[in-house]
């Protein structure tokens, strides 16, 4: 399996729908991230989870709700989205923390292409 797997790869939803994006990393990393890639801002950090704790919420609207049940899985729950939320959502993982060789290198998944109608 590839290092970071994202599903679904493509998602079309209406503004009143509720859907979720899933990310799974098979690299044994302890940090996971959601990035948004759109025409306006190429790679925009949304959320960071370190040791399953959310350490960063980059002023993301509440219609995006992350969930990290363990260090290998990350979800992004979507509800009442707007058309301007259409973008590619990228998940990434890295190894961080004191006492552990940490390069800061992010390993990205292939992304979930979201279209909001």
Residue 1 contacts residue 69 (beta carbons within 8 Å) = no
Closest CA to 36 of 95, 100, 94, 84: 84
Q: Which is nearer to another protein, 80 or 102 (CB)?
A: 102
- Residue 3 DSSP class: S
Q: Which is nearer to another protein, 50 or 80 (CB)?
A: 50
Q: How far is the CB of 94 from another protein (least distance, A)?
A: 6
Q: Which is nearer to another protein, 69 or 104 (CB)?
A: 104
My answer on whether omega of the bond before 91 falls inside 30° of 0, hence cis, is no
Q: How far is the CB of 78 from another protein (least distance, A)?
A: 19
* Sign, CA torsion 43/47/50/55: positive
CB atoms within 10 A of CB 102: 14
Residue numbers at the binding site for another protein (CB under 8 A): 4, 31, 35, 37, 39, 42-45, 48, 50, 55-56, 88, 90, 92, 94, 96-98, 102-111
The vertex-3 CA angle with 41 and 68, nearest 5°, equals 70
Q: How far is the CB of 43 from another protein (least distance, A)?
A: 4
Q: How far is the CB of 90 from another protein (least distance, A)?
A: 6
Q: Which is nearer to another protein, 16 or 98 (CB)?
A: 98
């Amino acid at each position: 399996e590839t290092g970071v797997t994202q599903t679904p790869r493509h998602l079309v939803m209406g503004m009143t729908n509720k859907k979720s994006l899933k990310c799974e990393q098979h690299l044994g990393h302890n940090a996971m991230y959601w990035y948004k890639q759109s025409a306006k801002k190429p790679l925009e950090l949304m959320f960071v989870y370190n040791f399953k704790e959310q350490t960063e919420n980059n002023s993301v609207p509440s219609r995006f709700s992350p969930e990290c049940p363990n260090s290998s899985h990350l979800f992004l729950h979507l509800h009442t989205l707007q058309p301007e939320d259409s973008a590619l959502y990228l998940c990434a993982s890295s190894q961080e923390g004191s006492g552990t060789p940490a390069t800061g290198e992010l390993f990205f998944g292939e992304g979930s292409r979201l279209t909001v109608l």
